[in-house]
Amino acid sequence: MKILVTGGAGYIGSHTCVELLNAGYEIIVVDNLSNSKQESLKRVRQITGKSLSFYKADILDSTALNEIFIENKIEAVIHFAGFKAVGESVNFPLAYYHNNVTGTMRLCEAMTKHGVKRMVFSSSATVYGNPVSVPISEDDPVGATNPYGRTKQIIENMLGDLQVSDPEWNVALLRYFNPIGAHESGLIGEDPNGIPNNLIPYISQVAIGKLNELKVFGKDYQTKDGTGVRDYIHVVDLAAGHVKALEKLLGSTGIQTYNLGTGKGHSVLDMVGAFEKAAGKKIPCCFVERRPGDIDISYANPAKAQRELGWRASKGIIEMCEDTWRWQSYNPEGYITHKLHYITSANTVVNYEESL
């Protein structure tokens, strides 16, 4: 059975390709490589010993999408393609709305044209904004606080409207909490562009000696040690959740939302301790001001995914840090070729590549 994976060369997409191939699916990846390298897909082949098809194309390009659907009998789409940096989205909102929202519209149009009505969509816990309480359940109020999060909310609503207009559509909206870690082989992992914004990629670069020390954002949050608490989930557990969601889509119609998290919250200092243990080295830290927009605490109630998808995260934070560290130490420069997309002041996206 052929599955189209948009954004399949990226961090979560490449790990999901491994799980899909291992589960026996055939894969077609479409990715414009604006934030990834084709090397990740070579490594997916290396890990699984299986082949996949790759189209270097933009999901905004209806002609290219049309050709992909003509050339392949696609049964379902797993849709990862999109921009994901919160800070960048504040500076370049139109580029984010265009790529994420219009891109998903073009994809849905192509799917409709070719009678493909099953989609697993990458949403985010960021749609909950500042949660009213924890653990967070799927029916808790949403209210994203930045343009990136609002693109996810708009897409969720758009897919809901589409499903109402045509009940043959079958959609799973997956709200990820904080994906970290890497494949246990150390061959694929997160390859951030420039200085990382997120905690674990930053710690990892401190551990490898590229950055001097971790700046812990705030020490007066209403949490056990004053630092922010999040629900970190191993990317391989997350990838397995996509296979479970796909299996569910193949057997029913409707639209469902699922939290993909572990249900456990860990503080920044917990994560520093876990990484030190995993890497066997000290991570120098200092406390600085809170990062604007950060919340005290966020973790999932993952009961619905457990109940309806038969999925549960199994890997703990030590394993997440060990796998991140293996990936970082084997690939200190990531996938080697760098430079991805940048957005001009006119909100135009420019793609370029530079080989190191």
Q: How far apart are CA 356 and CA 351, in angstroms?
A: 16
Confirm whether 148 is a catalytic residue: yes
Options 291, 307, 344, 351; binder of ligand UD1; rule CB under 6 A: 291
For the chain, the farthest-separated pair of C-alpha atoms sits apart, in whole angstroms, at 56
Q: Which stretch binds ligand NAD (CB under 6 A): 9-17, 43-51, 70-78, 261-269?
A: 9-17
Q: Long-range contacts: 48-56, Cβ < 8 Å, 24+?
A: 48/18, 48/21, 48/22, 50/21, 52/8, 52/17, 52/21, 52/26, 52/27, 52/28, 53/27, 53/28, 53/29, 54/8, 54/9, 54/28, 54/29, 54/30, 55/28, 55/29, 55/30, 55/31, 56/31, 56/32
Shortest gap between Cβ of 165 and ligand NAD (angstroms)? Answer: 24
Residue 260 · residue 324 · CB < 8 Å? no
- 236, interface contact from ligand UD1, ligand NAD, none, CB < 5-8 Å by kind: none
> For 261-334, where are the E strands, in sequence order?
266-267, 285-288
- Pick one of 21, 54, 86, 99: the residue that binds ligand NAD (CB under 6 A): 99
Cβ distance to ligand NAD smaller for residue 192 or 226 = 192
**Number of other CB atoms surrounding residue 178 within 10 Å:** 22
With CB under 5 to 8 Å by kind, the binding choice for 120 among ligand UD1, ligand NAD, none is none
Give, as ranges, the residues between 290 and 309 that touch ligand NAD (CB under 6 A).
none
Q: Binding residue for ligand NAD (CB under 6 A) from 3, 4, 7, 315?
A: 7
Catalytic residues: 148
Interface residues with ligand NAD (CB under 6 A) are 7, 9-13, 31-36, 58-60, 80-82, 84, 99, 103, 122, 124, 176, 179
Interface residues with ligand UD1 (CB under 6 A) are 86, 124, 126, 149, 178, 197-199, 202, 214-217, 228, 230, 268, 291, 293-294
